[in-house]
Structure 1
Amino acid sequence: MQTTTVRPDAFEVSPAERPCFLPRLFSTDYLRAEISAYVYAGKYLTDYSGGEWAFMRLAGTGGYMVPPAGTWCFENPDNGAVAVVSADAAGIIITALVLNHRSHLYARHDQEALCAHFTLRWRQLMDFAETHPEAAAIFRALD
């Protein structure tokens, strides 16, 4: 399998790996979680209108989805966050929102295994985000 390294701890998933990536990231809820990512992108990324997303695998485990290349304006009226970020940072933000919201959903519905899975993936992504060059903008967006 050939992957592209974006950073020493993040790799773009190869076409051969793509079918397995979302189930690993989002477990059995991968279809709803993937749709949630696109819905959140439409809500928070100015001028988002679809496109092919890249999938990034983290060195240990976990990962995130990345919208089409370029710069994105993230706007969240709920917390007042406005930031112009790279596609990579936008993907971290959107994926973190999905992981966080779905973990809370499953906690409220007594689905402990899915809650634990989403919480673990969120923690892995936040650990990675702390070392990202756009960490300040990522955490402000998620505040």
Structure 2
Amino acid sequence: MTSAVIPVVTRIEGAQRLCFLPDLFGGDFVFAESMVYAYADRYCPDYRGGYWHFYRLPDGGGFMAPDADILTLSNACNGFSGTVSGNAAGFILTALVLNHRCWHYNRHGNGALCAHMAKRHEQLMSFVAFHPEQSLIWRALD
């Protein structure tokens, strides 16, 4: 019998935080970061701003997450409404932004940024199976 190896997610601290967002979002990092915060305002009615953690996945992808124990997340586009951890909320919000920016750059003919966002989205989604709140994440993104 073999057991699955759970990938290690690393929380980015200190000076390494300066490189995280440009690596995650490429040349779109200023706008994409602000979109994550705007999506938090839109999808999480009890979100009030604050500090965000940055997490690096083993394959190079990553996500941002608000420093919150729990948040209510409501996605009117698919009818999801539920309570999730701050970590799961950030995972969901980052996935939504990566998907949106990929679509945007595909539509506007920027193949390089489209490919970057698609790669980061794929890396993030390949990690869902290892997240403790995977069923809620899938429901929120469905």
Q: Same fold (TM over 0.5)?
A: yes
Which residue is equivalent to 1:84? Answer: 83
Normalized against structure 1, the TM-score is what? 0.93
Alpha-carbon separation, structure 2, partners of 1:112 and 1:60: 22
Which residue is equivalent to 1:36? Answer: 35
> What do residues 15-42 of structure 1 show as CA deviations (whole Å, max 9, x unaligned)?
1100000000000000000000000000
Residue identity matched to 1:52: Y
Identity of aligned residues (%): 49
User: Secondary structure in 1 aligned to 2:119?
Assistant: helix
CA deviation after TM superposition for structure 1 residue 127, in Å: 0.5
Which residue is equivalent to 2:18? Answer: 19
Alpha-carbon separation, structure 2, partners of 1:130 and 1:96: 14
Alpha-carbon separation, structure 2, partners of 1:17 and 1:83: 33
CA deviation after TM superposition for structure 1 residue 8, in Å: 4.4
- Superposed, which structure 2 residues align to 1:64-143 within 5 Å? 64-143=63-142
> What do residues 32-59 of structure 1 show as CA deviations (whole Å, max 9, x unaligned)?
0000000000000121110010000111
Alpha-carbon separation, structure 2, partners of 1:64 and 1:98: 10
Which residue is equivalent to 2:58? Answer: 59
Structure 1 window deviating more from structure 2 (128-137 vs 109-118): it is 128-137
> What do residues 46-81 of structure 1 show as CA deviations (whole Å, max 9, x unaligned)?
211100100001112010000122101100112100
Structure with more relative contact order (C-alpha pairs < 8 Å, separation 6 or more): 2
Task: Kindly report structure 1 stretches of 4+ aligned residues shifted beyond 3 Å.
Answer: none
Normalized against structure 2, the TM-score is what? 0.93
Which residue is equivalent to 2:3? Answer: none
Q: Which runs of 5+ in 2 are unaligned?
A: 1-5
Contact 2:7-2:130 within 8 A present in 1 as well? no
Task: Tell me how many residue pairs correspond in the alignment.
Answer: 137
